[in-house]
Structure 1
Amino acid sequence: MTTAQIALAVVLSLVFLPLGLAKIAAVAFMRQAAAHLGMSSGLYRVIGTLEVAGAAGLLLGLASVRVGVAAAIGLALLMAAAAVVHLRHGDPPVRSLPAAALAVAAVAYAGVAVAAG
């Protein structure tokens, strides 16, 4: 296990956990974001649940590389889809940048974890 692997797991978990919990709790700004993208609150809660599960998987990946890599790939796919949804919705490209950056960071975690063995 490398310092990069630990740092990426912790940072990504600190990003995804509160965002996922806010989606699950249907906090006002998350309801607005869901409505803006034409999504139901129920679908947004599912996305939040996936984010929380991914954050937990990244942290569990510090003990089991396979779990961490699977979680990272799942989060990368989720964030790539989020970026596409923003672009297809007509949002300016800068609105999809956070999702794209998180997807790249999740892929970086997977790469570091696989390389570390």
Structure 2
Amino acid sequence: MDIAIIVVTIALAVYLGIAAVLNIFYMEHARENATHLKISSKRVRFIGWCQLAAVIGLVAGLRWSALAIAAAIGLLLLMIGAVMAHRKVGDPIKEMVPAAVVFLLTGFVMFGHIAQAGA
């Protein structure tokens, strides 16, 4: 497996794992974001569980590419939703950068697994 895919997967897993814990336990940062984005605590916790599922899928996908691809697709959809939520409240582009970076890195991981599966 390509080293770059492994490194990016681990980086995404760490970042999303932290975000998942913040959202699942509805910690202060998650509460601030929920208030700003006008979303409920239940939705924030659901997003946290989706992030945790993505972490598990991406890491397990290092052994089984199909799982990484499926997790990446879900994560791509989650990041599209994040950008849409920021647009809805009129945030500037700089507020959407973290979601866009995660989107791009996730796409890199997904297409890396697709390329390896086809080889």
TM-score by length of 2: 0.95
Counterparts of residues 1-117 of structure 1 (less than 5 Å): 1-117=1-117
Cα deviations by residue, 1:39-74 (Å, 9 ceiling, x for unpaired): 111100000000011011000001110000111111
Instruction: Provide the rounded CA distance (Å) in 2 between the counterparts of 1:72 and 1:49.
Output: 15
Within 1, Cα distance between the matches of 2:68 and 2:104?
15
Query: Where does structure 1 differ by over 6 angstroms across 4 or more consecutive aligned residues?
Result: none
2:5 counterpart letter in structure 1: Q
Contact 1:20–1:48 (CA under 8 A) maintained in structure 2: yes
Q: 1:12 is matched by which residue type in structure 2?
A: L
Question: Residue type of the partner of 2:18?
Answer: P
How far, CA to CA, are the matches of 1:52 and 1:75 in structure 2?
10
Q: Report the count of equivalent residues.
A: 117
- Is the contact made by 1:84 and 1:96 (CA closer than 8 Å) also made in structure 2? no
- 2:15 and 2:73 map into 1 onto residues whose CA distance is 16
| Structure 2, unpaired ranges of 5+ | none
| Distance in 2 of aligned mates of 1:29 and 1:85 | 16
Question: In structure 1, how many angstroms separate the alpha carbons of the residues matched to 2:90 and 2:66?
Answer: 37
Deviation at 1:13, TM superposition (A): 0.3
Q: Which runs of 5+ in 1 are unaligned?
A: none
Task: Quote the offset at 1:15 in angstroms.
Answer: 0.7
Q: Please give the alpha-carbon distance, in whole angstroms, between the structure 1 residues aligned to 2:43 and 2:105.
A: 24
TM-score under structure 1 length normalisation: 0.96
> Percent identical across equivalent pairs?
32
